[in-house]
Chains A and B, each alone.
Chain A
Amino acid sequence: MTEDLQPARSPSGGVLVDARLSLLDRQMLDVDGVTVGVVDDLELSDVPAVLERGTPPPSVLALVHGPIVLERIFGGKRPHGQLLRFGWDTVAKLGSAVELAAPASELPRPWLETWLRERVIARLPGGRHVPG
């Protein structure tokens, strides 16, 4: 595979990971290699409005997937109803995709996928069978 980046689990490790290059817009795969989303944004720990000396640096809490990507494209602010959080503690590896340590069934799932599956696709004949 590709050159692996160090998993940035330890806060004091000082490993440099370029968020824009190696995190944002990368696919997220579950433990079986199934795509479960794409990193649309990052959630950081709280940054106080007034930074005093000795304030601990912010850290990445979660990878965020959802329509927030539209803000990155078009700018502006809109309400965030449908954001999915993938906690940093589930990240197993940063490679050509972000590999997560959990199966898709234990990860958040977008409502549209669920709705289309239950209401449309699974109801059509053969919708639950693997082709072939």
Chain B
Amino acid sequence: MKKIFAVALGILTAIGGFLDIGDIVTNAVVGSRFGWSLAWVVVVGVAGICVFAHMAGKVAAVSGRATFELIRERLGPRMALANLSASFFINLLTLTAEVGGIALALQLASSVNYLLWVPVAAFAVWLVVWRVGFELMENVTGLIGLLLIGFAVAFFLLGPDWGELGRQAAQLMPTQESPATYWFYAVALFGAALTPYEVFFFSSGAVEEGWSVKDLGQSRLNVLVGFPLGGFLSLAIAGCAALALLPIGVEVGTLSQVVLPVAEAGGTLLLVAIILGIVAATFGAALETTLSAGYTLAQFFGWTWGKSKAPAQAARFHTTMIVCLVIGLGVLATGVDPVMVTEVSVVFSAVALPLTYLPILIVANDPDYMGEHVNSRALNVAGQAYFGLILVAAVAAVPLMIVTGVGQ
């Protein structure tokens, strides 16, 4: 009984923790402009993060080594430093977007300007990193994040026209938008589904929680059941926008627009539930990106790290996280639109993906680390196919961003 509970809890928190501000905003933007015609990217992206997270979790559980330790061991200090610089910068961008997302969601709940919520959000994130245990943190944000199921409820209440949605999903290129914009958002959605911090966090978290080979079953279940269900919510967000915003010509540019279909479908109660869900999801992701900032730097330089230690036992690790939160706070204080930061962060996530993905793929095949648990043939075929895809997305991302003026 206890075991079933633990398994269910793992899956539920994986669903609730899957979505972050990048997924929420990008899916709504895409739904309001392209309907479901980019739904295939969500499917491809979710399958990708399953392959990727499964490998990273397996490597961490079997070898006891987290992602950035491996990156330095495998690529050597020079390449790893270049990799660290890029990954760290993009993670910081994502961290900023998530903190901005918490503040925007709190603004929706209170109508108090989000700029006043930014310091509150950043302080709360720090407090949880500083004082709350790892499992409690994961379970609470994951379970409250499940309220985002409200998007699926709203989607069905809106009475989806399956024929129209199916037509959109089958039609690869809508005529009213330029191909460059279409492909720009394809890359953005891909980057939103496969953010690198998820892998830093997933693997380092596995080490923190002391996973071993016997935990692989649970890990596989969390990833293979939880993530696709999270991806289903992504489709629901895009679907809500496709049903309620696309027909009236409202293109999503603010978080308030993202949740309008929810209020339309379910009234105040569902609206409040969704706003709370967004607060929890962005808060969870802000925690994960903050920790990832500490993890990546500590693992490269060999500092003592770990959330389950007293902060004084990992002073440089905790100082890094404080500094990163202060930087994110400073960026948001300039008044830059957090939705814009989010859109840029998912594109750069796509750029950075090969940097984390390749070392994981290599180590997952190295018997020195993995013993008998090296990748199966099937996993390798999938892993290599995805590496090709990730490479194409990474190369195309910046040119597409420039040409389309960030999707304008």
A and B touch in the complex (CB under 8 A): yes
Interface 1/0s, chain A 85-107, versus B by CB < 8 A?
00000000000110000001000
Interface 1/0s, chain B 293-329, versus A by CB < 8 A?
0000011111111011111110110110000000000
Assess A25 versus B76: contact at CB under 8 Å? Given A3-B367, A34-B304, A35-B304. Answer: yes
- Chain A neighbourhood of B302, CB < 8 A: 27-28, 35-38, 40, 65
Interface 1/0s, chain B 54-81, versus A by CB < 8 A?
0000000011110001001100111011
Interface 1/0s, chain A 33-58, versus B by CB < 8 A?
01111101000000000000000000
Are A73 and B81 in contact, with the CB atoms below 8 A? yes
Are B133 and A131 in contact, with the CB atoms below 8 A? yes
Are B303 and A35 in contact, with the CB atoms below 8 A? yes
Are A130 and B77 in contact, with the CB atoms below 8 A? no
Measured CB to CB, the closest approach of chain B to A76, in angstroms, equals 13
Are B304 and A121 in contact, with the CB atoms below 8 A? no
- Chain B neighbourhood of A7, CB < 8 A: none
Are B63 and A121 in contact, with the CB atoms below 8 A? no
**By CB atoms of chain A within 10 A, which of B136, B309, B368 has the most?**
B368
B78 nearest in chain A by CB position: A73
- Chain B neighbourhood of A72, CB < 8 A: 77-78
Interface 1/0s, chain B 278-303, versus A by CB < 8 A?
00000000000000000000111111
- Decide if A128 is an interface residue (CB 8 Å cutoff): yes
When chains A and B are docked, how far (Å) is the Cα of A129 from the Cα of B303?
A: 19
When chains A and B are docked, how far (Å) is the Cα of A37 from the Cα of B63?
A: 18
Contact of A124 among B63, B132, B311, B316 (CB under 8 A): B311
Measured CB to CB, the closest approach of chain A to B49, in angstroms, equals 25
Count contacts on A: residues with CB < 8 A to the other chain.
36
**By CB atoms of chain B within 10 A, which of A28, A72, A120, A132 has the most?**
A132
When chains A and B are docked, how far (Å) is the Cα of A130 from the Cα of B316?
A: 16
Contact of A113 among B65, B77, B299, B316 (CB under 8 A): B316
Assess A113 versus B310: contact at CB under 8 Å? Given A27-B302, A132-B132. Answer: no
Are A2 and B370 in contact, with the CB atoms below 8 A? yes
Assess A113 versus B73: contact at CB under 8 Å? Given A3-B367, A27-B65. Answer: no
- Decide if B134 is an interface residue (CB 8 Å cutoff): yes
- Chain A neighbourhood of B77, CB < 8 A: 25, 40, 69, 72-73
When chains A and B are docked, how far (Å) is the Cα of A36 from the Cα of B298?
A: 11
- Decide if B123 is an interface residue (CB 8 Å cutoff): no
- Chain B neighbourhood of A27, CB < 8 A: 65, 69, 299, 302
Q: How many B residues touch the partner, as a band?
A: 35 or more
Are B369 and A121 in contact, with the CB atoms below 8 A? no
Contact of B316 among A25, A69, A112 (CB under 8 A): A112
B65 nearest in chain A by CB position: A96
Are B318 and A121 in contact, with the CB atoms below 8 A? yes
- Decide if A16 is an interface residue (CB 8 Å cutoff): no
- Decide if A127 is an interface residue (CB 8 Å cutoff): yes
Assess A36 versus B309: contact at CB under 8 Å? Given A2-B371, A96-B63, A131-B132. Answer: no
Assess A96 versus B64: contact at CB under 8 Å? Given A26-B73, A122-B312, A132-B308. Answer: yes
Measured CB to CB, the closest approach of chain B to A132, in angstroms, equals 3
Measured CB to CB, the closest approach of chain B to A97, in angstroms, equals 7
- Chain A neighbourhood of B134, CB < 8 A: 131-132
- Chain B neighbourhood of A2, CB < 8 A: 62-63, 368-371
When chains A and B are docked, how far (Å) is the Cα of A27 from the Cα of B249?
A: 55
Contact of A121 among B303, B312, B367 (CB under 8 A): B312
B59 nearest in chain A by CB position: A96
Contact of A129 among B76, B310, B315, B369 (CB under 8 A): B310
- Decide if A13 is an interface residue (CB 8 Å cutoff): no
- Chain B neighbourhood of A127, CB < 8 A: 130, 310-312, 318
Measured CB to CB, the closest approach of chain B to A115, in angstroms, equals 8
When chains A and B are docked, how far (Å) is the Cα of A69 from the Cα of B79?
A: 12
Are A120 and B315 in contact, with the CB atoms below 8 A? yes
When chains A and B are docked, how far (Å) is the Cα of A8 from the Cα of B62?
A: 24
When chains A and B are docked, how far (Å) is the Cα of A107 from the Cα of B310?
A: 19
When chains A and B are docked, how far (Å) is the Cα of A51 from the Cα of B133?
A: 58
Are B132 and A121 in contact, with the CB atoms below 8 A? no
B79 nearest in chain A by CB position: A73
Q: Interface residues, chain A, CB within 8 Å of chain B?
A: 1-3, 25-28, 34-38, 40, 65, 69, 72-73, 96-97, 104, 112-114, 116-117, 120-122, 124, 126-132
26 residue pairs from A and B, CB less than 8 Å apart: A1-B63, A2-B369, A2-B370, A27-B65, A27-B299, A28-B302, A34-B313, A36-B304, A38-B300, A38-B301, A38-B302, A40-B77, A72-B77, A73-B77, A96-B368, A113-B304, A114-B315, A117-B312, A127-B318, A128-B310, A128-B311, A130-B310, A131-B134, A131-B307, A131-B310, A132-B132
Ranked nearest first, the 3 interchain pairs of A and B with the lowest CB-CB distance are A132-B133, A38-B302, A117-B315
